[in-house]
Amino acid sequence: MHRIFEALVTGLAQGAMIALVALGYTMVFGILKMINFAHSEVFMMAAYVGLFILTALGGAHSPWIAGIGGTVGAMIGAAALGMLIERVAYRPLRARGRGTRLSRITPLVTALATSVFLQNAAQLMFSAKFRPYPRLFEQTRPVIFIVAVVVMVLLNQLVKKTWFGKAMRALSSNEEAARLMGVRTSRVISMTFAVGSGLAAVGAVLYCLDQSQVYPTMGVVIGTRAFVAAVLGGIGNITGAMLGGLLLGVLGEFVKLTDYSGGVDVLVFLVLIGVLLVKPTGLLGSTAGEKV
């Protein structure tokens, strides 16, 4: 019974970190209907920024100052990188591809190219070796879960209660109508990338505080799980991304209690396939007709 409870607590902490990254995927898809595969590399870059700031602020000698300062610094760096990626890689393609069959394919290929570029840039700048995070707290998982839940609640309030949230939802429903109503769509899209990247930075710092290492390809595994979580919950649905992340985290830890502990990712994808066969829009997704 103790092992089951421990697996549940660990799974909720892992799932909360996955959910924070999945929110970035689902927010961008919600307004642009594209998958930002470079998001996993923003997660990785944020982990490096967090490590350097944590170390500069004293690490384990000043755990709260280092933890808060490192997380905030990583969020600022990730938000800036997310906005830069949107401005350089995606914005020029939107107007050029609007109304054509390539309007969704071209940004997808660009996202993959950006992802590969950032991975190689990280290897050149930081080398391929694993870098350990300082151990700030004896019990990191309760801190991780509480921080993740608070951040997700604040995001929910941001989307539902603020002007930016209303503008984002209007843009998601109809970009042209939102523009005609005075919404500065390019600014809203840029800020959506910034918010999603900032959330990934929180997940990155929390993940590394728990897992204790950062390396250039770390975004591949966590990014894949976050993408699956977003699709599982209903891509484009913020609550669905949270739910999908928590479910994957708990499921993964329960699988580790069995004889098939090495096949966590296999089971995750099998569950995803099963859900999509039964409900292609995901657990909380809704079917919407597309006007021609």
Give CA–CA dist 103/128, Å, rounded: 35
Give CA–CA dist 66/43, Å, rounded: 19
Residue 80's pLDDT is 95
- 2-278: what fold? ABC transporter involved in vitamin B12 uptake, BtuC (1.10.3470)
> Are 229 and 245 spatial neighbours (Cβ–Cβ below 8 Å)?
yes
DSSP string, 32-92: HSS--TTHHHHHHHHHHHHHHHHHHTTGGGSHHHHHHHHHHHHHHHHHHHHHHHIIIIIHH
Which residues pair with residue 214 across a beta bridge?
131
Using 50, 70 and 90 to split pLDDT, how confident is the model at 292?
very low
The CA dihedral of 32, 164, 284, 193, to the nearest 10 degrees, is 40
- Residue 267's alpha-carbon distances to 78, 229, 231, 262, in angstroms, are 31, 13, 15, 10
Give per-residue pLDDT as tens, 118-128. 999 999 999 88
Q: Give percent of the chain above pLDDT 70.
A: 93
* Amino acid identity for residue 265 in this structure: D
pTM, full prediction: 0.87
Give per-residue pLDDT as tens, 14-57. 888 888 899 888 888 888 778 888 999 999 999 999 999 999 99
* Amino acid identity for residue 78 in this structure: A
